[in-house]
Amino acid sequence: MYVILTLLAALFAMGTCVYHRVRLVVGAAVTVLVTLVVGLLAHTIMLTIVLLLIELLVVVPLMTPGFRRRQISGPLLKAYAKVTPTLSETEQTALDAGTVGFEGELFSGKPDWNQLLRQPRPALSSEEQAFMDGPVEELCAMVDDWQICHELADLPPEVWEFAKKNKFFGMIIPKQYGGLQFSALAHSAVLQKLASVSSTLSTTVAVPNSLGPAELLMHYGTAEQKDHYLPRLAVGEEIPCFALTGTYAGSDATSIPDYGIVCKQAHDAVETLGVKLSFEKRYITLAPIATVVGLAFRMYDPEHLLGDKEDLGITLALLPRSTPGLQIGRRHFPLNVPFQNGPVHGKGVFAPLSSLIGGPQMAGHGWRMLVECLSVGRAISLPSSAVGAMRASTIASGIYARMRKQFGLAIARFEGVEETLARIGGITYASMALSRATAAAVDRGEKPAVSSAISKYHTTEWARTVAGGTMDIHGGKAVQLGPKNYVGNGWCSIPIAITVEGANIMTRCLMIFGQGAIRCHPYVLKEMQALSIGDYGTRLREFDKALFGHIGFACSNVLRSLVMGLSGGRLGAAAGDASVRPYYRKLNRYSAALALCADVFMGVLGGKLKFKEKLSARLGDVLSYLYIASAMLKYYEDSQCPKADRPLLAWGFHECIWQIQNALRGAIGNFPLRPVAWLLRLFVFPLGCLEAPPSDRLGHRVAALLTEPNEARERLAEWVYLTPSPHNTIGRMNALFPEVVAAEPLERKFLKALKTGRFKSHEYEEQLAEAQASGVLDQTEHDLLKQVHTNVFEFISVDDFDSSELCAVVTRADKRA
């Protein structure tokens, strides 16, 4: 018994030190001391001596740098160099371009939640809030989305003019150049409110403030370029577009076939050094009306007019619309959502070197310029537009489900509808938090490459889910297009966001984990960087330091994953109050599981993991849902932990944990080396897969929040245009909503009396009159029911047309003229 006790004490001491990631020297001292004390107390002297000798034989060589490097790290360095794939210049540029935020903590297996909670609470400035309350409200009131999509196929001229005058296209441009210089949060808030009324409008405003000429000029432009273009861009005097995607290069932007040959040619009657460009671009937003075109191309210098290098690489230039040979103006028609989008072509188009963004010295640096700016733009534009549409859909669905009656009940009372309401409510809450988190990261000065990919992918995918749920709840109302249909245009726009700025399939399979594993892992990038060091001694020293840090990290995650798996994530200190502390502990558990699986997958598969896209995608899902759950907790804390929001937080959190479990189970279940998979399953799921999706009871509570006035619903409706106006159906519905709720008990009383057969009339208003005459309703109740019935009829009605009204858009526009 005493022998077993001594062994267990030694193992426990060592395991505790590894679990808590104690330094090797401290851990060794603690293990030796515990072994000695317990051995003496248990009178197991010989066993104690043996254990101490074993411990010293293991620890002393590891603590001797020279021996460790010669006998362990040196041979491993050679083996590592053989199996580690060499990063291409493109991949290295992408890795160098971004920064790591809290997602790095989630990859650590031991997140520091205080780091997350110490981040400042994002908030709009008084100037930004005034813009939201003033120009943004005014612009939303001007919009008739039916007119935009089905009559004009464009924004009305007065909307264009108002947007330019009020600098909607200059939100990111500094004030010194006449722009608004808004925060990323304000940029996001504006796009969300615009997207709640028209995806065409939000897209039109998003593009000049996202990846494009303004962003690129601000970071890389010459002083002359900034002084010339930025003031014009800020007030809409210049309309920009950026031409990257081509016929043969979409998501694989680095393989663009468009090229420019350095040459001399007469330009404005003066022989000028420049590039002769040939390009074929498509899907370029704002191109049909753009006055200045940003162009990405590969630059060649066969005559060596600029130096010894012939292939200079991807380069960016600005071409005025008036450039001879530039073919621009034709339009694509993306799914009946008529934001300006079209092709840009050119053959033998000459541009002087002064047109290169940043001047001739930036030739060949275009890919770096793009990826450095892309993460910032991708973190704001598409996620914000998706979240704005989701918020509007969620609010509208809750109201409609309360207005629409079937079988004598509001359809919100049916469990099938309730389940859908819960799903769109929980997803919208999670998306709000995710979008806010990425905007806040940009405002803190980060370049969130990984988290922006997470935000773009999940908000646009979830927008598809919310749009589908909204269609289900509205039924035939959502199918019949017309001015009364506030759902159909949004449904049409959903696939567009999924395909742009990195198609979602590629983003999930290649980017989130592919970049996250290297960027966020505390040691992998350091090990890879060590390989590139020229001096062998320095290379070995840096590799040794990273290697043994990695070994300790991996051992800790094995123990942490197993222990927290056995305890169900209930052990250890955690942040937050009693209501959310279990959530932080769950995330601790799955953070350790992700770190363990990532190490095993990368260690066993090596460079082959790059081509195992389904495995990479599942691990990316784990990282994504950890980040989303963290964002929800931060949003909840920033909102002062409102009790009313707890059902929304709980639904979103349990959905994330359920998806994490499924992703880990899928990744382990499909790992090609089965013995390794069996061991992983033991450490990650020692008691099996016990997580469950959000319960029906929780879903009922979420649905209830959407179908009655309350503070949680008001927070969901933040940054949604709800001012009642002629073209804002959702705003008018929302204004009627309290009366609809107040009328429900009166309707039940009226229907109960109606079932007795005491009313002779078959017309609703006459039946109401009979109910009042018989004392079932008083005058106030009669008036309320009549008013609600009349107003609700407008919102549940659909449009119909004469056949002649359904002719082509061009014909109708001609008739209007």
* 267 HSE (CA, 13 A, CB side): 17
pLDDT at 765 over 70: yes
Q: Cβ atoms within 10 A of the Cβ of 282, count?
A: 16
- Mean pLDDT for 540-551 is 86
Taking only Cα atoms into account, the Rg of the chain, rounded to an integer number of angstroms, comes to 31
pLDDT of 274: 95
DSSP state of 532: T
Q: For this structure, is 501 an active site residue?
A: yes
Query: 3-state SS of 451-464?
Result: HHHHHHHHHHHHHH
First to last CA, the chain: 98
Give the sign of the dihedral formed by CA 630, CA 621, CA 101, CA 106. positive
Encoding tokens for residue 45?
């002297």
Instruction: Report which of 328, 355, 358, 356 is spatially closest to residue 342, judged by C-alpha positions.
Output: 328
Q: Give ∠ CA 811-815-817 in degrees, rounded to 5.
A: 115
Q: Give ∠ CA 743-749-751 in degrees, rounded to 5.
A: 100
CA 84 to chain centre: 30
**Dmax over Cα atoms in the chain, in whole Å?**
103
Residue given tokens 């199996």 in the structure block: 83
pLDDT of 94: 66
Residue given tokens 């990368």 in the structure block: 602
Rounded Cα distance between 374 and 379, Å, is 8
pLDDT at 749 over 80: yes
Lowest mean pLDDT among 153-162, 245-254, 416-425, 705-714: 245-254
pLDDT of 528: 81
Report the SS3 class of residue 353: helix
Percent of the chain with pLDDT over 70: 94
Percent of the chain with pLDDT over 90: 67
- Identify the bridge partners of residue 271 per DSSP, sorted by sequence position: 266
pLDDT of 379: 87
For strands 292-300 and 270-285, give the pairing: unpaired
Lowest mean pLDDT among 187-196, 587-596, 750-759: 750-759
DSSP state of 132: I
Asked if 699 contacts 632 with a C-beta cutoff of 8 angstroms, the reply is: no
Read off the pTM: 0.93
pLDDT at 39 over 80: no
| Dihedral angle over CA of 166, 167, 171, 173, nearest 10 | -150
pLDDT at 817 over 60: no
Asked if 652 contacts 465 with a C-beta cutoff of 8 angstroms, the reply is: no
Instruction: Report which of 304, 315, 309 is spatially closest to residue 360, judged by C-alpha positions.
Output: 315
CA distances 694 to 591, 644, 651, 665, Å, are 21, 17, 6, 18
- Mean pLDDT for 739-745 is 94
CA distances 547 to 313, 515, 542, 544, 704, Å, are 35, 20, 8, 5, 53
Q: For residue 620, which phi and psi values (nearest 5 degrees)?
A: -65, -35
Q: Cβ atoms within 10 A of the Cβ of 159, count?
A: 22
Residue given tokens 């621009």 in the structure block: 328
Letter for the amino acid at 236? Answer: G
Asked if 171 contacts 209 with a C-beta cutoff of 8 angstroms, the reply is: yes
Q: For residue 681, which phi and psi values (nearest 5 degrees)?
A: -60, -40
Rounded Cα distance between 259 and 279, Å, is 7
Report the SS3 class of residue 65: helix
pLDDT of 91: 63
pLDDT of 47: 66
pLDDT at 172 over 80: yes
Q: What is the mean pLDDT of the chain?
A: 90
Lowest mean pLDDT among 15-19, 187-191, 720-724, 756-760: 15-19
For 298-337, write each residue's pLDDT tens digit: 999 999 999 999 999 999 999 999 999 999 999 999 998 9
pLDDT at 341 over 70: yes
Q: Cβ atoms within 10 A of the Cβ of 675, count?
A: 8
Rounded Cα distance between 150 and 337, Å, is 9
Rounded Cα distance between 245 and 251, Å, is 8
pLDDT of 541: 87
pLDDT at 805 over 60: yes
pLDDT at 813 over 50: no
pLDDT of 298: 95
pLDDT of 810: 45
Q: Provide the b/e sequence for 42-64 (b: ≥16 CB within 10 Å).
A: bebeebbeebbeebeeebeeeee
Instruction: Report which of 450, 380, 444 is spatially closest to residue 106, judged by C-alpha positions.
Output: 450
Give 228's pLDDT tier (boundaries 50, 70, 90): very high
Q: For residue 299, which phi and psi values (nearest 5 degrees)?
A: -105, 130
- Identify the bridge partners of residue 262 per DSSP, sorted by sequence position: 275
Find the catalytic residue in 103, 215, 501, 527: 501
Residue given tokens 């997140």 in the structure block: 111
What DSSP element (H or E) covers 311?
A: strand 311-320
Choose between 758 and 37: higher pLDDT: 758
Rounded Cα distance between 591 and 521, Å, is 12
DSSP state of 725: B
pLDDT of 408: 84
Q: For residue 130, which phi and psi values (nearest 5 degrees)?
A: -65, -35
Asked if 159 contacts 143 with a C-beta cutoff of 8 angstroms, the reply is: yes
Give 1's pLDDT tier (boundaries 50, 70, 90): low
Encoding tokens for residue 36?
């000695």
pLDDT of 14: 73
Give 501's pLDDT tier (boundaries 50, 70, 90): confident
Instruction: Report which of 511, 422, 498, 438 is spatially closest to residue 462, judged by C-alpha positions.
Output: 498
* CB-count exposure of residue 630 (10 Å: 0-12, 13-18, 19+): buried
Lowest mean pLDDT among 38-47, 376-385, 777-786: 38-47
CA 752 to chain centre: 49
Rounded Cα distance between 205 and 651, Å, is 33
